[in-house]
Amino acid sequence: MLIGGIEAGGTKMVCAVADENGNLKDRISMPTRQPKETLGELVSYLKKWEISALGIGCFGPLDLNPCSDTYGYITKTPKAGWENCNIVGIFKEALQIPVGFDTDVNGAILGEVTWGAAKGCDSAVYVTIGTGVGVGVYCNGKLLHGLVHPEAGHIFLARHPKDHYAGRCPFHPNCMEGLASGPAIEERWGKPAASLAENSEVWELEAFYIAQAVADYILTYSPQKIILWGGVMHQKKLFALVRSQVKELLNGYVHHKSLYDGIEDYIVAPALGEDPGILGAVKLGMLELEKSSSC
């Protein structure tokens, strides 16, 4: 059996076909242009394969409420041309197969829970720190939704007393994305983040913010694994800095060995390399297929 997956990002789309064990058979990638041409190209690609279902992990915000008239839409995005795009409807109509749908970050945590670093976990969190900050939450065996879906990349953080940078989020002066995303690092220090690799002050401050967010996710979601990724985490030294600051922040309050001697295996990079998002999308398709065949 073959399943299709789409990792739909604001800058690029990745589309792949895999078997039910997550073995990728083929993939394409393209820049995200206007919906009609981009989605049209993806439909043509997918029609070449005999896929039983499709999953889409998508940039948001999204309508994930199956009872809503606009279920399956990208809603109020600033990405020009994509506001109110009925992305699920387009693929359902063109391919006539079940289509699973969730946020890109929920897709990524699903990939890691199914085939990666969080395999076997009931609860786990995936944080991507790149152009923005996004958080996927898997809780008690399910991807977490609610009023809309978690936006835990915008949680409010305590500022470092020496950090006078204004922040990059147009909505919140002190949120994680505004203070710790790749573009925030670049604006604060006046250089591309990758070129600041040798400046330890940069990464200590970055870890100060990431660790606060991670400690808050531990306190609220009680995950059994925390996966950190995105362009900024290519600075591998951040892992050790974040782990040690998380321990300090929690200060012994949460009792579990994972947080102390085992923290190297608790706050980790993805095991699926660059593929948690696309493999998670495939799994979203598999779950939708199961749902549709059980009714």
* Min dist. Cβ of residue 183 to Zn ion (A): 13
234 binds ligand ADP (CB under 6 A): yes
Judged by CB under 6 A, the stretch of 60-68, 73-81, 123-131, 241-249 that binds ligand ADP is 123-131
Provide the 3-class DSSP secondary structure of residue 26: strand
Q: 95, 120, 126: which is closest to 108 by C-alpha?
A: 126
The DSSP code for 145 is: -
* Min dist. Cβ of residue 107 to ligand ADP (A): 13
Q: Restricting to residues 130-169, which ones interact with ligand ADP according to CB under 6 A?
A: 130-132
187 binds ligand ADP (CB under 6 A): no
Tokens of residue 54, six digits = 């499709």
Amino acid identity, position 234: H
Amino acid identity, position 49: W
72 binds ligand ADP (CB under 6 A): no
Q: 261, 292, 284, 235: which is closest to 113 by C-alpha?
A: 284
x/- letters, 167..206, toward Zn ion (CB under 5 A): --x-xx--x-x-----------------------------
x/- letters, 250..289, toward Zn ion (CB under 5 A): ----------------------------------------
Q: Tell me if 235 sits within 8 A of 197, measured CB to CB.
A: yes
- Chain centre distance of CA 191: 26
Q: Restricting to residues 2-21, which ones interact with ligand ADP according to CB under 6 A?
A: 9, 11
Q: 87, 134, 80: which is closest to 109 by C-alpha?
A: 134
Query: Would you say the C-alpha torsion 265, 182, 75, 92 has a positive or negative sign?
Result: negative
The residue (of 47 and 237) whose beta carbon lies closer to ligand ADP is 237
List contacts with ligand ADP (CB under 6 A).
9, 11, 128, 130-132, 182-183, 186, 193-194, 230-232, 234-235
